[in-house]
């Protein structure tokens, strides 16, 4: 009886830990992720250290498909933002190339329910990100938004975006 109960609890814990929808994205393990938005509206993210891929169904359509603003109106976990920013800076270093194939593509770090990311927001495009770019983008966001408020910065005339958001929010939609 005790073995069965332990087995059931272990399976229940594993099932609860495995993300199954966009709403569960916040339960992904912390670390670096790359991702794409698929043509059907679903998204796929791959943990860059473990190689594990997670697929998420397309979110329900809303009346406003794209955000017009750089500030999204909600505060993020301060420690999560700080840790994810440090990791993105460590990744970018003195310059890191990123490209998209047939759909917009992004790379970032998930920490404590926060996703800090770099996006190439158009198909078949590329860009390069370094620490100075990240500092500039964060400075631009912080000049318009509260310091730990979700938002993004896009350079004028560019397909490149740096942003910080809740894990699981739609980003890099093209």
Q: What percent of the chain has pLDDT over 90?
A: 53
Q: Using one digit for the tens of pLDDT, what is the confidence trace for 9-46?
A: 333 333 333 333 344 566 778 888 888 877 777 778 88
Using 50, 70 and 90 to split pLDDT, how confident is the model at 159?
A: very high
pLDDT at 75 over 90: yes
Q: Using one digit for the tens of pLDDT, what is the confidence trace for 101-119?
A: 989 999 999 999 999 999 9
Radius of gyration from C-alpha coordinates of the chain: 17
Total-model pTM: 0.72
Helices 131-144 and 78-92 pack at an angle, to 10 degrees, of 150
State residue 109 phi and psi, 5-degree precision. Answer: -125, 135
Please state the rounded mean pLDDT for residues 64-88. Answer: 82
Q: What pLDDT shows up at residue 59?
A: 63
Q: What pLDDT shows up at residue 20?
A: 37
Q: What pLDDT shows up at residue 26?
A: 65
How far apart (Å, rounded) are the C-alpha atoms in residues 124 and 105? 9
How far apart (Å, rounded) are the C-alpha atoms in residues 133 and 9? 47
Q: List all residues 6 or more positions away from 64 whose beta carbon is below 8 Å from its beta carbon.
A: none
pLDDT at 78 over 90: yes
Please state the rounded mean pLDDT for residues 65-89. Answer: 85
Please state the rounded mean pLDDT for residues 128-136. Answer: 97
- Within 10 angstroms of residue 99's Cβ, the number of other Cβ atoms is 11
- Beta-bridge partner residues of 129: 96
């Amino acid at each position: 009886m005790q073995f069965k109960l332990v087995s059931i609890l272990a399976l229940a814990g594993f099932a609860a830990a495995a993300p199954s929808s966009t709403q569960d994205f916040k339960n992904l393990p912390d670390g670096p992720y790359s991702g794409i938005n698929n043509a059907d509206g679903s998204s796929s993210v791959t943990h860059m250290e473990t190689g594990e891929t997670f697929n998420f169904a397309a979110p329900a359509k809303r009346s406003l498909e794209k955000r017009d603003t750089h500030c999204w109106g909600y505060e993020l976990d301060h420690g999560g933002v700080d840790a994810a920013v440090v990791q993105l800076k460590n990744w970018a270093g003195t310059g890191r190339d990123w490209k998209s194939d047939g759909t917009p593509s992004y790379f970032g770090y998930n920490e404590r329910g926060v996703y800090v990311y770099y996006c190439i927001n158009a198909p078949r495009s590329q860009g390069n990100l370094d620490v100075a770019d990240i500092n500039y983008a964060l400075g631009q966001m912080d000049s318009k938004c509260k310091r730990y408020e979700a938002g993004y910065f896009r350079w004028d005339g560019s397909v490149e975006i740096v942003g910080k958001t809740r894990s699981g929010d739609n980003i890099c939609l093209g």
